[in-house]
Structure 1
Amino acid sequence: MTMFSSVRHPVRTTIGTGLAAFAVAALPAGAATAAAPDTSTARPSADCAKGWGSLPEATKTLRPATVENVRTGRHACFDRLVIDLAGPATAYQVRYVNVVQQEGSGDPIPARGGATLRVDVEAPAYDDAGRPTYPLKSLREVSNVSGYDTFRQVAWGGSFEGRTTLALGVRARLPFQTHLLTGPGSTHRLVVDVAHRW
């Protein structure tokens, strides 16, 4: 894998330009891309959200990685968003915002729910040749979160200049935590857990 530097890749993948083609080209005929639910063990509800808050969380360590998958899971006291990375875990920023803006174009992305988390990971969803590494099925419904306690929508915010953005619509401005996980094997994940309640 080619190392990524702090100079970002020039390929745009925005709704207003080539993202629709990007999404279609990435899907083989008849392919299903429904995200598999996260099956890791839920934490005991007694200590759920202990020490969590609603302030921005971030790391700044930039490493070479690409986005391979986006999936969600339901747990006893929180809903979970997982971004699977090919390459080591890299820099990210997760924060509540009034509206998420589309990478590249700056267009607003409305998200269902009473609050919106902007999730940025410093990893593109394409390789050095501009080929997609994550096959999108839907720009507005990246993962089906119907019936979730906290999540209301996961929308694609684009992958532009080495950064991939998601708009995570949630029921209310609830406490969350983020962490980077390694394994099994050489896999890496950015995990965002949002509690069901304060």
Structure 2
Amino acid sequence: MRRLTTAAATLVLAGAGLAGTAGTAGATTGQAGKAPTATACSTVWGSGDKTARDSGSKPLKNITTGRHACYDRMVFDIGGATGKLGYHVGYVSAFHQDGSGDLIPVGGGAILQVYVNAPSYSPATGKPTYPGKAGQPLPGVNIAGYKTFKDTRFGASFEGQTQVGLGVRAKLPFRVLQSGDRLIVDVAHTW
């Protein structure tokens, strides 16, 4: 009986420890004034190219960003898209506009080029669905105060893809996720 009580107490304490750790893993900057623990920030994503060849997405509606405890996030809203979204994300030495090849300067220590298989216009009417202009910062996106993101530039919307240049502090690990009709690019603050 004593062994059973000791085992139960050990499980309760272990569970409490895990619950405390889980609470810091999802912490965002400014939450409860606490910085994340070193183990809470995973950097196993790598910095190599990431690609999904799926296509047939709806037009791009918006691009937003957010700051988190361990990474900065860029979200591509492809309203109404179903199924898997296609993309190609990778570091480049220079950012050239798709189609024309014109060089577009992007600030920061490294440039992450993002292609999303979604045009920024309606294929049926040709009318813009996202107001990006070649070589200009992304409209409505303010990255002042971000730890990793340093600059954003719209490249082009060419042959059904939208191209964005993301200036980051250094060549850092990143991941690409999909949540419903949104494509998410997270870039870690550190290795």
5+ residue gaps in structure 2? 1-24, 28-35
Distance 1:138 1:104, change over 3 A: closer
Aligned to 1:161: 159
> What TM-score comes out, normalization by structure 1 length?
0.72
CA contact (8 A) 2:134 2:155 kept: no
- The match for 2:108 is 113
Provide the residue aligned with 1:95 in structure 2: 90
Are the counterparts in 1 of residues 133 and 155 from structure 2 also a CA contact under 8 Å?
no
- The partner residue of 1:140 within 133, 136, 143 is 136
In structure 1, the residue matched to 2:172 is: 174
Q: 1:123 aligns with which of 98, 118, 132?
A: 118
Q: After TM superposition, which residue ranges in structure 1, 4 or more long, deviate above 6 angstroms?
A: none
How many Å apart are 1:139 and its aligned residue? 4.8
Q: Which amino acid aligns with 1:105?
A: S
Higher relative contact order (CA 8 A, sep 6+): 1
The code of the aligned residue for 2:112 comes to: L
Which SS does the other structure have where 1:112 is aligned? coil
Bigger share in helix: 2
Contact 1:140–1:156 under 8 Å retained in 2: yes
Asked whether the 8 Å contact 1:65–1:90 carries over to 2, the reply is no
Q: Please give the residue correspondences for 1:40-79 in structure 2 after superposition, counting only pairs within 5 Å.
A: 43-44=26-27, 45=36, 46-79=39-72
Write the distance in 1 (CA, Å) between the matches of 2:26 and 2:88.
24
Note if contact 1:49-1:176 (Cα within 8 Å) is conserved in structure 2. no
SS in 1 for 2:60: strand
Greater Cα shift, 47-56 or 143-152: 47-56
Q: Which residue type is aligned with residue 82 of structure 1?
A: V
Gaps in structure 1 of 5+ consecutive residues: 1-41, 183-187
How many equivalent residue pairs?
153
Deviation at 1:109, TM superposition (A): 1.2
Question: Whose radius of gyration is greater, 1 or 2?
Answer: 2
Q: In 1, Cα distance between the equivalents of 2:66 and 2:114?
A: 16
> Hey, what's the Cα distance between the residues in 2 that align with 1:106 and 1:76?
36
Q: Which residue of 1 aligns with 2:6?
A: none
Q: Normalised by the size of structure 2, how large is the TM-score? A: 0.75
For 1:99 and 1:81, locate their aligned partners in 2 and report how far apart those are by CA, in whole Å.
20
Which is richer in strand?
1
In structure 2, the residue matched to 1:36 is none
Q: 1:138 to 1:145 in 2, by over 3 A?
A: farther
User: Structure 1 CA distance, aligned partners of 2:128 and 2:104?
Assistant: 21
SS in 1 for 2:78: strand
Identity of aligned residues (%): 45
Q: 1:59 touches 1:93 (CA, 8 Å); kept in 2?
A: yes
Q: Is the 8 A contact 2:62 2:78 kept in 1?
A: yes
Report the more deviating stretch, 106-115 or 87-96: 87-96
